[in-house]
Amino acid sequence: MAADKSISSKQLSRLPIYLKLLYSLKDKGVEKTSAPQIAKALQQNEEQVRKDLQVVSSHIGKPKTGRVVVDLIDDIETFLGYHDATSTVIVGVGHLGGAFMNYSGFSEFGLNILAGFDVDENLVGGKINNKEIFHVDSLEEYIVNHQVHLAILVTPTDVAQNIANRLVKSGIKAIWNFVPIQLRVPEDVIVENVNLASSLAVLSHKLKLNLEKEEKL
């Protein structure tokens, strides 16, 4: 049961991490755990863990007895909406979009990928992982008919804003954006950006500097 709905993005982003740990505890047959134990296992601040869990769970546990692992799992899963799957479509079935359609792991996170959309006639009409690929012309109709509110955007950069506009007009309220541009959307539409190229750029550059430093030693 959710005790409170005021949760920060940082807190939210930590919940899947707790969940992963709790799954592994459950698999190992551990029945109870506590904020200090979780904090220690994840090398995080104990007070932070306690506060995070208090937001999502009323299973506070008595001091010294701890929380029941399966209850905690259920609370976090419910809070994150993993139990009621969110329908979604993927726009752009290129390299990464195709990989995502093939990736069954998203269903664990409560995502139900209904279909893919593309302009490539070699893809349209086909299926990946048993999900149909439609022409992007039918995007609006599909979203309205299937009452989809979330879309995964993996198009080429130059069409991304245009597609985002069409998504929003059709009723999309949240975009998981993998295209490296800053989308302009109305205030009530949420955009969460994942920029793999940026993440890799940071890593590669630091690696290069470190290797150069080592060579000099």
By beta-carbon proximity to its own copies, the closer residue of 124 and 160 is 160
**Using CA atoms, how far apart are residues 160 and 132, in angstroms rounded to an integer?**
21
Task: Please give the Cα distance from 150 to 174 (Å, whole number).
Answer: 5
Check residue 64 for interaction with its own copies (CB under 8 A). no
Stretch that binds its own copies, among 19-27, 46-54, 62-70, 136-144 (CB under 8 A): 19-27
Rounded Cα–Cα distance for residues 153 and 191 (Å): 10
Residues 24, 30, 110, 1, CA torsion sign: negative
Distance (Å, whole) CA 93 – CA 46: 43
* Residue in the structure block whose two tokens are 């029941």: 68
Tokens of 22: 């709790």
| First and final C-alpha spacing in the chain | 56
What token pair was written down for 19?
């969940």
Residue 162: which H helix or E strand, with range? helix 157-170
Q: At closest approach, how far in Å is the CB of 137 from its own copies?
A: 23
Q: Are 128 and 56 in contact (CB under 8 A)?
A: no
Residue 122, classed as helix, strand or coil, is coil
Position among 31, 58, 103, 120 found at the interface with its own copies (CB under 8 A): 103
Task: List the one residue from 1, 24, 83, 145 that touches its own copies (CB under 8 A).
Answer: 24
For its own copies, the binding residue among 65, 104, 122, 130 (CB under 8 A) is 104
Name which of 136 and 148 has its Cβ closer to its own copies: 148
Q: Which is nearer to its own copies, 129 or 145 (CB)?
A: 129
Asked if residue 17 binds its own copies (CB under 8 A), the reply is: yes
Q: Which listed residue (32, 61, 71, 86) binds its own copies by CB under 8 A?
A: 86
Residue among 40 and 138 whose Cβ is closer to its own copies: 40
Interface region with its own copies, contact rule CB under 8 A, candidates 62-70, 119-127, 162-170, 182-190: 182-190
Among 14, 89, 123, 133, binds its own copies (CB under 8 A): 14
CB 76, CB 18: distance < 8 Å = yes
Summarize as ranges the residues that interact with its own copies (CB under 8 A): 5, 7, 9, 12-17, 20-21, 23-24, 27, 42-44, 79-81, 86, 94-96, 98-100, 102-106, 109-111, 149-150, 157-158, 173-174, 176, 180-182, 184, 188, 190, 192, 194-211
